[in-house]
A and B are shown apart, each in its own frame.
Chain A
Amino acid sequence: MVVKGVVKKGQYFDSVTLMLVAKGLTEVEGVEDAAIVMGTDENKSILESSGMLLDEFKQAKDSDLIIVVKAKDEALAEKMLEKAEKDLQESRTKFEEAGDYLPKSLEGALEIMPDANLVLISVAGKYAGDEAMKALEKGLHVMLFSDNVPLEKEIELKKYARDKGLLVMGPDCGTAIINGAPLAFANVVNRGDIGIVAASGTGLQEVSCVITNEGAGISQAIGTGGRDVKKDVGGIMFLEGMKALNEDENTKVIALVSKPPHEDVLKKIANLIKEEIKKPVVGIFIGGDPEVVKSAGAIPANTLEEAGLIAASLSKGKSMDEFKKLLEEREEEIKKLAEEEASKKKEGQKYVRGLYTGGTLCDEAQLLFKDMIGYVYGNAPLKEEFKLKDSWKSFKNTVVDLGEDEFTVGRPHPMIDYTLRNKRILEEAKDPEVAVILLDVVLGYGSNMKPGEELAPVIKKAKEMAKKEGRDLSIICSITGTKKDPQNKDKVEKELKEAGAIVMPSNAAASKLSAYIVKKLGGDK
């Protein structure tokens, strides 16, 4: 293998562009690895650990671009460096062609679009807060996708926004739907009369998709960022979001989605529901006590799916009894399916391996497992003693969040790039003790655009590998998405089913099915 690289002085590209171009290089045969990064110390140490730090990179500065390729021979490496520069140039051209004139600042943009009403910010956290404040001062609502915005800055922004009657969604807000527009990583959902306030990105996606797939719809889905409901920020935007939905004439039902808020924040939410909110409220505080939600005057849901189903029932004017009947029917179907799947398993097959791309979905699976088959191992376990010694190797029943840092440094998030998970699926399939592989597939803008094409062949291969050794392997998926998403849920579902996967209507249903199978096989003991 040959490592070759080049430093380009003072060139700036956005991070997605850099990763896409680098990924394009690694897809060429004979290329083992490639990286295109700015020359920061942190990046240099990542390059060093993967054996790609050349002497000439050591002098590179933060503002210099490093392109490096590890390939089978010198000629190919040279060719790849040229390809990288060409691809970067093309992306720049595309960027410049994106408009006749691209303003360099918020002020410039406002000259062109004076009636703009929302600013979406995804630049680095240390700059993002200042950009957000500029937007608020101009009377614009803000969605802050960026993370690493200092806590004090978040509090300052949100207090200022509250006083001015403006929305600050985020920092670290991955998804929102405002006036039907899917912002950042959002799904294309039905419009309707259910308003959502969420401090969890994938939680919001799962609930809004369940609602849509049930034939109901969303009026607004406001993301707040996970830190909003903690003690320091005090739920400023969560509460403001609830008030706004209460006053919104197009919202009939309000759904709240979050990990358990700080107790002070919870009290404020409860007070608000009691004193001001005049609409039915459904709440899912993942991992929290449903009684607390109930005592706050909201209808508690046990899972994200339930939250979506209850909200949809209320929206359609159905009674809670009808909803409960639906849930019971679904539970019976899951049990029946579990019996069938378990009966096909060989002696010794008893464990589940959950490979997740969505953090909240991973949490939800672990919580359901805890109640049904006990605590499971993982890299982000519910209990510290169940932490895997090595995140790359599963043990007994394991659920892994592939979106955690140890998996994402230097590569795109697993919702976008399936490479890492696909490899892991095949590894798990080799393990004779594995009965079930559980997967989430998150659709929508920003996610992988060809999930069926990239995942289906791997599912097929994994099942074939097990079959050769006389084992039947259940691969159970949930799809967070809608048929209106650019990937089209129906199409993806068909592709995965054809490959031999079982596709469940929600993450909760997929997790329950997995747990029932494991229980039947004695993997819970």
Chain B
Amino acid sequence: MAIKDLFGKELKVINIGLLSFKESLEDAGVKVIQVDWRPPAGGDEEVMEALKKLLGK
């Protein structure tokens, strides 16, 4: 396998996390499937990290 083999193919995405990313991809006409992911234990840090992250690019 090589990275370039991905180019030119239709992109098909599995989205693990923010639902808004799935919605954006669908809006752009990309095939995407959402995983109903739950944290293995509780979900605490997810909120804080994404708060900071949300989009601290």
Interchain CB contact under 8 A, A181 and B2: no
A33 to B12, CA, bound (A): 41
Q: Which residues in A have their C-beta under 8 angstroms from that of B54?
A: 15-16, 19, 408, 412-413, 416
B6 in complex: contacting residue of A117, A127, A164, A410, CB < 8 Å: A117
Known: A104-B36, A118-B14, A165-B5. A62 touches B51 (CB 8 A): no
Chain A 132-169 interface mask (CB, 8 Å, partner B; 1/0): 00010001110001111000000000000000111100
Q: How far is the CA of A174 from the CA of B56 in the complex (A)?
A: 8
Interface residues of A in 218-241 (CB under 8 A from B): 219-220, 240-241
How many angstroms between the C-alpha atoms of A17 and B54 in the bound complex? 12
Report the bound CA distance from A112 to B31 in whole Å: 12
Question: Contact: B11 with A178, CB < 8 Å?
Answer: yes
Residues of B within 8 A of A131 (CB): 16, 37
Within 8 A of B (CB), among A116-138: 116-127, 131, 135
Cβ–Cβ contact B46 & A247, under 8 A:
no
* Residues B39 and A17 in contact, CB atoms below 8 Å apart: no
CB < 8 Å neighbour of B48 from A42, A106, A416:
A42
Given contacts A38-B44, A102-B34, 18 further A-B contacts (CB under 8 A): A95-B36, A104-B36, A104-B38, A105-B37, A117-B11, A118-B11, A121-B16, A124-B46, A135-B14, A172-B53, A183-B13, A244-B2, A248-B7, A403-B56, A408-B56, A409-B51, A410-B51, A446-B20
State A442–B51 Cα separation when bound (angstroms). 19
In-complex Cβ contact of B17 among A105, A120, A248, A405 (8 A): A120
B9 touches A202 (CB 8 A): no
Q: Quick one: closest A residue to B54, CB to CB?
A: A413
Interface of chain B residues 23 through 57 with chain A (CB within 8 A): 24-25, 27-28, 30-31, 33-57
A contact residues around B56 at 8 Å (CB): 147, 359, 403-405, 408, 413
Per the CB 8 Å criterion, the residue count for chain A at the interface is 95
A388 CA to B11 CA, complexed, in Å: 45
Given known contacts A15-B54, A124-B45, A98 and B34 CB-to-CB distance under 8 angstroms: yes
Interface flag for A461 (CB, 8 Å): no
Quick check: B47 and A40 within 8 Å, CB to CB?
Answer: yes
Contact with B along A397-419 (1 / 0, CB 8 A): 00000011100111111011000
CB pair B50 A16 closer than 8 Å = yes
Residues on B with beta carbons closer than 8 Å to the beta carbon of A147: 49, 52-53, 56
Instruction: Determine whether the beta carbon of B6 is less than 8 Å from that of A141.
Output: yes
Q: Which of B6, B11, B13, B19 contacts A14 (CB 8 A)?
A: B19
Interchain CB contact under 8 A, B55 and A174 = yes
Contacts known (A62-B43, A179-B6); A14 close to B16, Cβ less than 8 A: no
Q: Is the CB of A145 within 8 A of B52?
A: no
Q: Return chain B residues, CB-CB under 8 Å to A43.
A: 44, 47-48
Taken together as a complex, chains A and B put the C-alpha atoms of A28 and B49 apart, in Å, by: 27
Q: How far is the CB of B32 from chain A (nearest CB, A)?
A: 8
Residues of A near B25 (CB, < 8 A) are 120, 181-183
Alpha-carbon distance between A152 and B1 when the two chains are bound, in angstroms? 24
Taking CB as reference atom, which chain A residue is nearest B50?
A15
Q: In the complex, A183 Cα to B10 Cα: how many Å?
A: 14
- Output the nearest chain A residue to B20 by Cβ-Cβ distance: A16
Task: Write out the residue numbers on chain A whose beta carbons fall within 8 Å of the beta carbon of B51.
Answer: 15, 19, 408-412
Q: Can you give 6 A-B contacts (C-beta < 8 A)?
A: A103-B35, A141-B6, A146-B49, A359-B56, A408-B56, A409-B52
CA distance A365 to B5 in the complex (A): 38
Question: Which 7 A-B residue pairings sit nearest by Cβ, starting from the closest?
Answer: A122-B17, A62-B44, A63-B42, A15-B50, A201-B57, A174-B57, A244-B3
8 Å CB contact of B10 from A99, A179, A182: A179
Residues of B within 8 A of A95 (CB): 19, 34, 36
Chain B CB within 8 A of A184 CB: yes
| A127 → chain B closest CB, angstroms | 6
State whether A446 and B55 are in contact (beta carbons under 8 Å apart), knowing that A139-B1, A147-B49 are contacts in the complex: yes
Q: Is the CB of A16 within 8 A of B7?
A: no
Pair B18/A181 contact, Cβ less than 8 Å: no
